[in-house]
């Protein structure tokens, strides 16, 4: 299922699932629990999804769209790479990173989820690399290295400190980004 095929009627199910996933992890995702949380019946669930596997595919498409495609759509027309990065940075912090961390946990035991996480990571890294390349005139390889460092810091921070206040995460991410951008401009990626 592509993100464009997510029906409007299934959005409540998917949003509830993302909240549950972020707060309790993938083990909490089951039809009975979702029905109880959203206060709808199994019949309603099966009206929107053929089975749990179809639901999982829809949830993955929803996560990809909501946490990646929609953010990139909002920043695509910003020409200055540093301003574009700043906008992306602010939009990313509006999302519940716990959902990203939970997706990664789920992907360790589910091949379909793992492949989607890898796809999303590739999309995000490609965008970040492009921003570094344009902001600092880096080679594609060097820009990719800076993007990996930047993105690893973002994901790794929340893996290490899942209950950290967003203000601390924002401060550290801003510090890291400024340092990486300054380094990329002064060294042009040379080791």
* pLDDT tens digits along 127-176: 999 988 988 888 999 999 999 999 998 888 888 888 888 888 888 888 88
Distance (Å, whole) CA 9 – CA 28 = 22
Contact 10, 58 (CB under 8 A): yes
DSSP 37: H
Contact 18, 99 (CB under 8 A): yes
pLDDT digits (tens, 9 = 90+) for 84-134: 888 888 898 888 888 999 999 999 999 999 999 999 999 999 999 998 898
- Angle, to 10 degrees, between the axis of helix 81-92 and the axis of helix 166-187? 160
pTM: 0.87
Alpha carbon 19 to its chain centroid, in Å, reads 14
What is the Cα–Cα distance from 38 to 90, expressed in whole angstroms? 29
Predicted confidence (pLDDT) per residue in 30-80, tens digit: 999 999 999 989 999 999 999 999 999 999 999 999 999 999 999 999 998
Q: Which domains does the chain have, with CATH numbers?
A: 3-187 (1.10.357.10)
Whole-angstrom distance, CA of residue 106 vs CA of residue 184 = 34
């Amino acid at each position: 299922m592509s993100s464009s095929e997510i029906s409007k009627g299934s959005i409540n199910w998917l949003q509830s699932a993302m909240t549950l996933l972020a707060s309790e992890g993938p083990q909490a995702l089951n039809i009975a629990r979702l029905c109880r949380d959203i206060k709808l019946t199994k019949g309603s669930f099966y009206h929107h999804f053929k089975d749990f596997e179809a639901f999982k595919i829809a949830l993955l498409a929803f996560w990809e769209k909501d946490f990646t495609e929609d953010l990139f759509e909002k920043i695509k027309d910003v020409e200055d790479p540093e301003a574009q990065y700043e906008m992306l940075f602010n939009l990313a912090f509006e999302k519940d990173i716990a959902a990203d961390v939970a997706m990664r946990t789920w992907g360790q035991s589910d091949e379909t989820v793992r492949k989607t996480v890898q796809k999303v990571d590739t999309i995000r890294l490609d965008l970040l690399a492009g921003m570094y390349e344009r902001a600092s005139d880096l080679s594609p390889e060097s820009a990719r290295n800076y993007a990996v460092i930047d993105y690893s810091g973002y994901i790794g921070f929340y893996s290490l400190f899942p209950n950290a206040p967003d203000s601390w995460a924002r401060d550290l991410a801003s510090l890291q980004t400024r340092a990486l951008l300054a380094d990329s401009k002064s060294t042009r990626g040379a080791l």
